[in-house]
Amino acid sequence: MADTRDAQGVVIRKVPWYDKHRWGLYEGLLSFAIGLFIFAIVIFLWADKSLFDFNYPIKFEKFGTFGDFIGGVVGTVFAFLNVHLLIKTIRLQNNANSQSEKSYAYVQKTENVRTMDTQINSLLSLYNSIVATISFHDKYGKEGLETVANYILSYAPNADISNFSDKQAIKAFEVVYASLRDKLAVYFRVIYRMFCVLHLAEIDNIVRYNYAKMLRSQFTESELFLLRYNALTYNGKNMQEQILAFNLLKHLPASKLFDLYPFFSHLNNDFSNHLDIMLYDFRKELEKTFIYGRHLDEMVSFQTNITNLSLAYKVFPDRRAIDIVFLVNRNLQPDSGNLERAIARYSDIDIRSFFKAYLLEIFSKSMFQVYTKVEELKFRNFRRDNGWVLNMSLDCQEQGRILMLTRKQLNTPRTFNYTTNTV
């Protein structure tokens, strides 16, 4: 039976009529039985008027028959009454037990949340204490961690970004990590432990995800960068599971990625922020298609915040390939902004290499190649009058394998009807 909702959206369960009137039926049947008993007595006496006629000799056999009749009828009535009371007692006891179980479950859930909250707050306090002790190049705390991240990024060579590999990023990270190991090792372990507690806690997923969002808000972009590249190392690889489970790198901008940094390094902070926002919005648009099937097999124009950069994409129905069309307008208008002029300085090859690296990032590297290996992604490029078309397909013989853009696709990858909570 389908549930209905009130004006506030609260589910109202419809109770069947036999549940509503169950006790009325019992009382009705009992009253009927008692009435039938009284009626039978009246009929018995009416059938033999001589039974209590004192003008006739006493007929003891008639009284015996009457007694047998009364005993049979009364015994039946009281047996029915006993069964009725027994059923009622059992149901009342079951209801009491059910309420007791619900109360216990609620108390247990509350206690589980309280225990987890205490553990996480203790670890969070320890995390803040450790952050305050980290120093690098005369910078302390969060500012010191930002200096560490920027120093690692400085190792990114100004070369063709399409040729970058994770090995280069790991090497650059480990060079700096070695000089701060006594602080950073504890820093990463505490973060790992926080999310392990959250992951293993016996609590509702809604509570779990709300806590995850709270913890995720503690980290700066530089810290997300450090978490990302530490997770690529041998010592930090266990953190990959927690990063993916709670989507910890959701707000890590493209400008903080080792592979893409050379492209951003030629832009000032304001221009980098504009490009970061554009790429973030672009990925969200792709997610709508890959997860919910919006505009499949259609060339969809994406409105960028950079006037001389045009984007369009098409996701094929099987979700195994995507075409990206991009065009940089080099015929700038007199009123063109500095950002447009900065983008125009990049060649078509630079733009193509940048988007290739970005697509590898969002479809593979951001998920640590757990679901899709970089070598499984094949690029085909060809020139059109309206720009470069970047075609990417996934070579996989496994039936139903698709391009993975987000962990959410794993829930029901064939139907794409998602109802679970996300972070």
The pLDDT value given to residue 8: 43
Lowest mean pLDDT among 185-189, 199-203, 362-366, 418-422: 418-422
Residue that wins the pLDDT comparison between 297 and 156:
297
pLDDT band at 131 (very low <50, low <70, confident <90, very high): very high
Q: In 3D, which of 122, 121, 123, 143 has the Cα closest to residue 132?
A: 143
Task: List the alpha helices (DSSP H) in 234-295.
Answer: 239-245, 261-264, 269-292
Among 102-106, 119-123, 280-284, 416-420, which is the least confidently predicted range? 416-420
pLDDT of residue 187 exceeding 80, the answer is yes
Among the ranges given (215-224, 314-323, 400-409), the one the predictor scored with the smallest mean pLDDT: 400-409
Confidence of residue 280 (pLDDT cuts 50, 70, 90): very high
Q: In Å, what is the CA distance from 151 to each residue of 136, 147, 154, 267?
A: 10, 6, 5, 17
User: For the residues 85-114, what does the mean pLDDT come to?
Assistant: 73
The 300-302 sheet, strands edge to edge: 300-302, 309-315, 321-328, 387-394, 377-384
Residues in the chain: 423
Considering the chain, what is the average pLDDT of its residues? 78
pLDDT at 160 over 60: no
Looking at the DSSP bridge assignments, the partners of residue 145 are: none
Query: Could you read off the pLDDT of 353-389 as tens digits, one per residue?
Result: 888 889 989 999 999 988 888 888 888 777 666 667 7
pLDDT band at 412 (very low <50, low <70, confident <90, very high): very low
Instruction: Return d(Cα 365, Cα 14) in angstroms, integer.
Output: 50
Give the tens place of pLDDT for each residue, 209-262. Answer: 899 999 999 999 999 999 999 999 998 999 999 999 899 998 999 999 988 888
**Average pLDDT of span 35-41:** 69
- What span, in angstroms and rounded, lies between the C-alpha atoms of 114 and 154? 44
Average pLDDT over residues 184-191: 95
Q: Which two tokens stand for residue 128?
A: 């803040």
Question: 259-278: per-residue pLDDT in tens?
Answer: 888 888 888 888 889 899 99
How far apart (Å, rounded) are the C-alpha atoms in residues 253 and 222? Answer: 10
Give the residue, 304 or 101, on which the prediction is more confident.
Answer: 304
The pLDDT value recorded for residue 380 is 79
What whole-number distance in Å separates Cα of residue 151 and Cα of residue 261?
12
Q: Buried b / exposed e across 333-350, counting CB within 10 Å, b at 16+?
A: eeeeeebbebbbebeeeb
What percent of the chain shows pLDDT beyond 70? 68
Report pLDDT digits (tens) over 12-26: 555 454 454 455 656
- Report which residue type is found at 225: F
Q: What is the enclosing helix (H) or strand (E) of 383?
A: strand 377-384
Residue 342 — pLDDT band, cuts 50, 70, 90?
A: confident
Extents of the domains making up the chain: 20-48+67-92, 116-265, 269-423
| pLDDT of the residue at 421 | 45
Q: What is the pLDDT of residue 9?
A: 46
The single-letter code of the amino acid at 20 is K
Instruction: Give mean pLDDT, residues 30-37.
Output: 68
